[in-house]
A = this chain, B = another copy of it.
Amino acid sequence: MNQVNQRQYKVGVLGATGTVGQRFISLLAEHPFFVIHALGASSRSAGKPYSKAVNWKQTRAIPAVVREMVVQECVPEHFKDCVVVFSGLDADVAGDIEHAFRVADLAVFSNAKNYRRDPHVPLIVPLVNTSHFSIIPQQQRLHAPPLRKGFIVTNANCSTTAVVVPLGALERAFGPIESCMITTMQAISGAGYPGVPSLDIVDNVVPYIPGEEEKIEWETLKILGGLAHADDDDSGSGLLAFDMHAAQPLRISASCTRVPVVEGHTECVSVRFARRPPPSPQQVREALQAYTSEAYSIGCPSAPRHTVFVHEEPDRPQPRLDRDYQAGAGVSVGRVRQCRVLDIKFVVLANNVAIGAATSSIINAEYAVLKGIVSATAA
């Protein structure tokens, strides 16, 4: 992967000892142009070498480059040389810390949920809606005082990411979707560590994940909806705003469950298109297979070649077999067939800890670098 003569960019990781932070570090340690420069965690960990501060739970060993790196508290001054700051912080602290980093004119790419509903913060699944980066200048300008380089970009919840990729591909090919039913079977790693008690999930299904259904139903609208100048509103402000798919209302109904799977969210999805007659299963398969993300097109190194891999075998995708395809950066779809109630149904699988979390943030940052959205003060 390493490219010759590539400029290098210093990056920081907030929440470096947590589950998402560990994944950020695993991925960034092998990145072609990001270089881990600073690690932030709670005051309990600050001051310790990373290998002493972390309860490492990844299947790959701690990367040599961070073993002895001293963990810092999550304050901007320790990260001021970072071109990009990734946040794997828990929601209970992410709000204040990410705000402080933005104010300090740092570019924050966050996996936390805190700013996803902010009207000036884009919620970007990099295989779908990188166009929403266009709101960044407005986010900086409206800040008081205005920001020169600082901003926050969030990525979506893991279960939203899985479904929004094929939905985005289908809307691009066939126009608006009108309604969508989703039942998820989510992996335990989605809840972090210690997360789900084993007594709750061995030989069991838990048909409820607090807040999850609301996240899918809301985030999908923001991601798939438009971002446009509100030219015609009374205020005449001309500000960019997320329309929540308002032009063609999209009704989404999600049912979320937890299953005894370590990694990989499986989701049964059924959709109804506005367009009549709707596309056939074969047309849907072809459109999904042909879909390419802009992130891949412009050369983001972590973007998957196959945004959506379409399986022909009737019993795929399966989390254990398919979650590591393309390092978990794409999604896998199978069983595309007609639905007797809506139009088309299928199964989608996404790696919740890869494209469903850290990988999305990293592709977003790669995109921002390649597009010049972050100030390319190279390391």
Contact = CB atoms under 8 A, between A and B. Distances in A.
A266 B262 contact: no
Interface string A53-82: 000011111000000000000000000000
Interface string A196-214: 1111111111111010000
A318 to B, nearest CB: 5
A342 to B, nearest CB: 7
A321 B57 contact: yes
A271 to B, nearest CB: 10
A37 B262 CA distance: 37
A304 interface: no
A268 B269 CA distance: 12
A189 interface: yes
A206 B317 CA distance: 8
Nearest to A210: B314
Contacts of A61: 325
Interface in A273-307: none
Nearest to A269: B255
Contact of A193 (B197, B204, B334, B347): B197
Interface stretch (A23-31, A104-112, A120-128, A179-187): A179-187
A207 B340 contact: no
Interface in A198-239: 198-208, 210, 217
Interface string A319-344: 11100110000000011000111100
A25 to B, nearest CB: 16
A336 B198 CA distance: 26
Interface of A: 57-61, 179-181, 183, 185, 188-189, 193-208, 210, 217, 251-253, 255, 257, 259-262, 266, 268, 270, 314-321, 324-325, 334-335, 339-342, 345, 347
7 contacts: A179-B341, A181-B181, A181-B339, A198-B198, A203-B203, A208-B315, A257-B266
